[in-house]
Chain A
């Protein structure tokens, strides 16, 4: 995904849409919104971000899962096989992005990148509802012109790159100047 924080207003429509789509139990969520402000009055800055599992290419959750419940799917996303999951939380300790929670039914759960929707040719629930168009589903191996244009000349970052996880979420920084 490419997440354009320049336009995100932190409304959380992505969170509610995900909760409905994936029947996430009350009190839990698979994606969440961060509002970060900095600077000194009156020169303040703000970034709003919709965050979720980063579907890392080198995912510590997969490495540390003792039962192989956490695994790479054929499309490159990180998925959880619930029937293999014992709820031991090794993956939760390993994940640098705090993307996972223990479902009340005992297994660990997280963003599946709406695998069931992608398979039907649909976008994820969060991408499809987002009123600002902040969320963009992107195939980084086969990037279309629109995405190239979106990223061109912008400050783009990945989170906690030093952890070596090779995350698949890229963020267009809110610090980009207008028209950058």
Chain B
């Protein structure tokens, strides 16, 4: 087995269109003849099926409206606490995924003939046999650590159960590294519990909300947007620090166009004002926190004047925000945001946010920081003994979570281990790795080329499927059961059901069947319940309900919990000190700064601009890129690069013209991107929405629309404490069309 430097085991294969849904000569209705057995949903007349969405991680409750066996409309579920009858545009767009003509229709197996690699259509049994053999073989030959899974999406629980039967638990969810990880771990280190979704802020009762570069409204998290709107209607003031005049900045009393990469300095400046002007909550700090002295030592020199020079925000504005924030406290907060892992210091950045919250004593106060609760679902005992894991956590980062069984290693570590040969087999569930910001496109492709065996479970022929040995077509979330969802914490704790609105189309199968088939091929029986419905029913009976009951509304909801602390109530936090840790003893013991400290980041070279990224409200990156229904609006059809009007003039760029982008390492965007000339961004940065510029020609809608943000990432900064990936030290310039 050779693992030379340039060894490439597999070439990218363009999946022949005869294996995709569009060419199967089956109408959506006729396709139901292929449906798997076991669906309890009839196909006569009209009905409403309550389930939950999969277009983003928020997992709102949906009502799928079905007529003549077709889903014709998706609305927000009235019963589900996260949607309350409302839904974001992506949620309505489930039909665009379900009826996407590009869907994977059959299992595919890579073949080589005459030196040429291609996919051929396979039967499920043949594909499953091959996957089971290869995965088991790798485990036997190299040990369980040679197998790894990258996953995104709620169907993964079945594959986790499958792998645990052979002692494999090297799992990564890229969303940890790119989005939620630093907030989760910063909350653990400061308050002793992990942050959740929706984030623990009492937004609807707040009077003063401060945001640093997170894009509420553009990121369209249904519940959060509902609560901010209620806050605004109730007179709340909003403050936004962002190099770009975002939609939320458009609602702010203060938009402060901060110099990118200087957020921590600003946070230290705000702390300085709160402490030096005696605006902080002394009683709370004395009773419930540790490390105040160390904190003050670290921000003592961060005067508004000094911070102003770093952040490009006037000193008076820094004082004003700090004073107003303290005035409105405790019904005031600084939000921890989402997907703000930018410069490799994301953990400390969110620690700084939580310290700003603790200083004004807003913990468990109306309008401040709160801890929402989850529905206490009882897990039935395992039906099958599985071997002990090699390790409980595989990550090398000291502050990687040790209490998240579905996330035991950072996704970039798996990419690197596949490149180095430590990982030989990859199961990739719902992650379009070449377009996921986890170390940039080239490393992702190198990892997949070097692995001995790659199996992709996906709905669409996204780029990742071109690098797999076997492609297994999963049906969409509208055609399947998944595990019960009690993973979301909110005012009224709940557990939600995903259930099929229609049977699986084409020759696709739900993940629960795919995982079970592979496990049984290993000769392991009894690891899964006889049917997914029986398994769900058993779990629900442990909490006094049943599948039949939850099917009616798609959700079981508990009464509202009390979110607020009483005067004199001890906090009993699970931190080493039992208090809010302004200075973290654990970080210090690990050799890191106990309190957050600003460090300077690289500046753009002359003529280059820092590449910032974000979202459009109707799209969720790769999940919706090929969605024709959502793509129908002019604003959804492509991404644009936002360029400040003075910079546009300097480069002679016209609004609406197309340019290629080139980054600091000479990487040129494959496709051109439209220029948006605007005052809404600083002169030292440009902005583009992620998730465009797809290279897979089989994504017939997404192909060549806009430019790929991911392609232009050739430099990443990894948080040394908890492993998040930062990608905003990439800089681009413009190449005008000849």
Contact surface of A with B, Cβ cutoff 8 Å: 4, 6-7, 9-13, 15-17, 19-21, 26-27, 29, 33, 35, 37, 39-42, 44-48, 125, 128-134, 174, 178-179
A12 & B618 in contact (Cβ 8 Å cutoff): yes
B232 & A131 in contact (Cβ 8 Å cutoff): no
B363 to chain A, nearest CB (A): 25
Using a Cβ–Cβ cut-off of 8 Å, how many residues does chain B contribute to the interface with A? 52
Interface membership of B76, Cβ < 8 A: yes
B253: chain A residues within 8 A (beta carbon): 178
> Given the complex of chains A and B, what is the CA–CA distance between A178 and B232 in angstroms?
7
Stretch with Cβ within 8 A of A (4 or more), from B421-429, B474-482, B490-498, B624-632? B624-632
B232 & A130 in contact (Cβ 8 Å cutoff): no
Interface membership of B69, Cβ < 8 A: no
> Given the complex of chains A and B, what is the CA–CA distance between A10 and B617 in angstroms?
8
B73: chain A residues within 8 A (beta carbon): 20-21
Most buried by A among B74, B629, B632: B632
Known: A21-B73, A44-B255, A44-B679. A178 touches B236 (CB 8 A): yes
A133 & B229 in contact (Cβ 8 Å cutoff): yes
Interface membership of B72, Cβ < 8 A: yes
A44 & B217 in contact (Cβ 8 Å cutoff): no
B229 & A10 in contact (Cβ 8 Å cutoff): no
Stretch with Cβ within 8 A of A (4 or more), from B82-90, B261-269, B412-420, B706-714? B82-90
> Given the complex of chains A and B, what is the CA–CA distance between A99 and B260 in angstroms?
41
Interface membership of B605, Cβ < 8 A: no
B74: chain A residues within 8 A (beta carbon): 20
A59 to chain B, nearest CB (A): 27
Interface membership of B486, Cβ < 8 A: no
> Given the complex of chains A and B, what is the CA–CA distance between A37 and B676 in angstroms?
13
A27 to chain B, nearest CB (A): 7
A20: chain B residues within 8 A (beta carbon): 72-74, 92, 95
* Candidates A9, A27, A46, A179; contact of B216 at CB < 8 Å: A9
Interface membership of B538, Cβ < 8 A: no
Interface membership of B577, Cβ < 8 A: no
> Given the complex of chains A and B, what is the CA–CA distance between A48 and B89 in angstroms?
16
> Given the complex of chains A and B, what is the CA–CA distance between A59 and B389 in angstroms?
73
Stretch with Cβ within 8 A of A (4 or more), from B178-186, B244-252, B395-403? B244-252
Known: A26-B628, A178-B253. A40 touches B225 (CB 8 A): no
Most buried by B among A35, A48, A178: A178
> Given the complex of chains A and B, what is the CA–CA distance between A134 and B92 in angstroms?
18
Q: Which 10 A-B pairs have the closest CB atoms?
A: A46-B250, A9-B217, A179-B235, A11-B617, A7-B229, A132-B229, A20-B73, A16-B92, A131-B86, A41-B679
- Additional 6 contacts, C-beta under 8 A, given A20-B74, A46-B245, A131-B76: A9-B220, A12-B618, A13-B88, A17-B75, A41-B679, A131-B87
The contact sample of 24 A-B pairs, CB cut-off 8 A, is A6-B232, A7-B229, A9-B247, A10-B247, A11-B89, A11-B217, A12-B89, A13-B87, A13-B220, A19-B632, A20-B72, A20-B92, A20-B95, A37-B680, A42-B255, A46-B245, A46-B249, A46-B251, A128-B75, A129-B86, A129-B87, A131-B229, A133-B230, A133-B233
A24 to chain B, nearest CB (A): 9
> Given the complex of chains A and B, what is the CA–CA distance between A21 and B632 in angstroms?
16
Contact code string B212-223 (vs A, CB < 8 Å = 1, else 0): 000011101010
B217 to chain A, nearest CB (A): 3
Known: A131-B88, A132-B229. A9 touches B237 (CB 8 A): no
Within 8 A of A (CB), among B72-131: 72-76, 85-89, 91-93, 95
B632 & A27 in contact (Cβ 8 Å cutoff): yes
> Given the complex of chains A and B, what is the CA–CA distance between A10 and B217 in angstroms?
8
B633: chain A residues within 8 A (beta carbon): 12, 15-16, 29
> Given the complex of chains A and B, what is the CA–CA distance between A6 and B91 in angstroms?
23
> Given the complex of chains A and B, what is the CA–CA distance between A127 and B207 in angstroms?
26
> Given the complex of chains A and B, what is the CA–CA distance between A125 and B617 in angstroms?
19
B250 & A37 in contact (Cβ 8 Å cutoff): yes
A11 & B85 in contact (Cβ 8 Å cutoff): no
* Candidates A35, A39, A128, A131; contact of B222 at CB < 8 Å: A131
Nearest to B646 among chain A residues (CB) is: A41
A7 to chain B, nearest CB (A): 4
B232: chain A residues within 8 A (beta carbon): 6-7, 178
Interface membership of B298, Cβ < 8 A: no
> Given the complex of chains A and B, what is the CA–CA distance between A9 and B252 in angstroms?
12
A129 to chain B, nearest CB (A): 5
B588 to chain A, nearest CB (A): 39
Within 8 A of A (CB), among B648-699: 678-680
Nearest to B256 among chain A residues (CB) is: A42
B76 & A129 in contact (Cβ 8 Å cutoff): yes
A132: chain B residues within 8 A (beta carbon): 225-226, 229
> Given the complex of chains A and B, what is the CA–CA distance between A44 and B89 in angstroms?
27
Nearest to B224 among chain A residues (CB) is: A131
B233 & A131 in contact (Cβ 8 Å cutoff): no
Known: A9-B617, A129-B75. A134 touches B229 (CB 8 A): yes
Contact code string B601-632 (vs A, CB < 8 Å = 1, else 0): 00000000000000001100000000011101
> Given the complex of chains A and B, what is the CA–CA distance between A35 and B676 in angstroms?
14
> Given the complex of chains A and B, what is the CA–CA distance between A41 and B635 in angstroms?
24
A50 to chain B, nearest CB (A): 12
Contact code string B292-312 (vs A, CB < 8 Å = 1, else 0): 000000000000000000000
B679 & A9 in contact (Cβ 8 Å cutoff): no
A48: chain B residues within 8 A (beta carbon): 247, 250
> Given the complex of chains A and B, what is the CA–CA distance between A179 and B93 in angstroms?
35
> Given the complex of chains A and B, what is the CA–CA distance between A128 and B77 in angstroms?
11
Interface membership of B257, Cβ < 8 A: yes
> Given the complex of chains A and B, what is the CA–CA distance between A29 and B629 in angstroms?
12
A134: chain B residues within 8 A (beta carbon): 229
A7: chain B residues within 8 A (beta carbon): 228-229, 232-233, 251
B197 to chain A, nearest CB (A): 16
> Given the complex of chains A and B, what is the CA–CA distance between A11 and B618 in angstroms?
6
> Given the complex of chains A and B, what is the CA–CA distance between A19 and B636 in angstroms?
15
> Given the complex of chains A and B, what is the CA–CA distance between A58 and B669 in angstroms?
53
> Given the complex of chains A and B, what is the CA–CA distance between A39 and B86 in angstroms?
33
B533 to chain A, nearest CB (A): 29
A125: chain B residues within 8 A (beta carbon): 75
> Given the complex of chains A and B, what is the CA–CA distance between A21 and B678 in angstroms?
35
Known: A37-B680, A44-B245, A133-B230. A9 touches B225 (CB 8 A): yes
A150 to chain B, nearest CB (A): 8
B125 to chain A, nearest CB (A): 38
> Given the complex of chains A and B, what is the CA–CA distance between A44 and B92 in angstroms?
32
